[in-house]
Structure 1
């Protein structure tokens, strides 16, 4: 039985390290060109080299996205870039264009993964892509797990599937709404997610309806399909989210790592699934559903809230930068005050609950509170807290009540 790889997104080096720390077997990311997430930080050449070295040191792999729809002018330095990626040890490139595949094969020996943008939805197409040199298919999100498994079986090629994250209302992302609403090409990295917005619908001569959200999909989760991913020999389970926070990356990686390992060990049960559900509800989401993993998505897949997304049961407070036996150094993304109750999320164990009873500045000044975007020192309150395995890159959260809604995407 094939144990699938856990594949996580990385917007920058911090998220790459967080993903690996929380259990990702591989990370996908973009360089400065050729990817579909132009608004992500994306990696410079030196950051890419460092990221690959870091990942390989921790027995993880790096895949680089080259899946934008290219024009002739974009090819001028593509061969040189492929040679660079090969020289630093990149483990694969994600591609959607036949011309790009030809350049990659002529200039390097990089393993080629077919992007979901190519909409591979059947074994006939899969066999053709295999003949073209593709080593792995990232199948379209319109497929069920059973269909994806059949493609792998009949074509003899590795199959990767999205298991978690935001969904696109267009067919495998082939959308041009942003082109016409903002002059930005969705298929060349410029998507502004116009589909998430509410609209007035006008029916011929009738008065326009109230604002409605009719194109925004609910978010995908595959926690209840883990056994099916195994049974159909999927090689990789992919988490969407190259624009998402370190908090999102940490929680999703930790949850799916636990579920994959538990099923492989024969210990996956309802209690663990319930815990996984609660953990994923703690991060921002658009109401989870199983997409087309079991059956084709239908009208129930539309996320109807007009004012934004569910911000989750918890808020992202910050990240542990350093730790000693007596204290932690915490970078804050939200304000913190004495008396606040926080939770530190270790890489594997249960969250560590902590009531903050002292806050110090980096120069040792005692504080009652500290604003966001600050760095603080938090003394560990007692011996039991000192015994916990709190370490660098642990993300920290605090409870949010009640469940508010935000316009963030």
Structure 2
């Protein structure tokens, strides 16, 4: 029997709220399948299961907040007979409903007596926006929990039962949307503070910087983009991501994790991309295997990742897999950024604002477009000499964009 547990979706996550189950007991699941949605302080994250088997039992009801590492479900492996699923106490069996019976009225297992009714956060927010009374909704989730689908069905049934627009009714929710957003923002800031505080306490940072001339790279990008639709044009950011990934593949002491008083190099190069959220705060989900991707594919992945991060729809592997992080604050108008390493990673590369500056090239003075690249690294895993070579490799690769 396999235990599927609440994953750690970053160093700043201690617990998560189960938003929705996407599987049920008896379902066969494959490796990498999305099986649940978990609400964190930063986003609603789609949780992937990296085991194969048959769902034997769902251990945590929708709406419950549990610590990282808590078993969420059990899976029976191939050839294993699952233990009988222990269902919550229910009323006497009821005949299957007629197809025309409104979905919101269909019978289901009753919530255990003496227990509060579980409602997923998404379902609660949707019910408030649609004016649905949760007390009149029958939950179909584990232990009678009310899911988003239950609320939507109840709203549809209510619409058919009341064709005339009802008078506006004050929401039963104690907090407004603005207050909830403010509360969520405060929780996110607390999570970031905890992770960054831990980073500065535990990691002996050292910082290096280099000025990279971008004229060759920008000229090459212009040639590549001239016949492309606007939506398919390559941005300088993808060149930076690819250069960092290739350099990290060569200098492996910057691509991995510090665990149990020792450095563990990562098997792949999964670059975390620092993304600012519209409501404040940031996330740094991963683009997987950046060193192996072509620039067009990388540009598509980056666009998709930013859109989903700001919509609050990320996957668990994107949150837990970064092996090195890149932050780019050039669009904010700063020349340089010296970041804080995101534990248990050991390095972070930053890029500032590309700008025209006076430089000396081959003994002559000229104006060139340059960007300041910085490295924050863990002195337990590397030293300044190797860090300087790592930054120099990033610089070299950006001078040869056709090789990226």
TM-score by length of 1: 0.26
TM-score by length of 2: 0.26
**Of the two, which has the highest radius of gyration?**
2
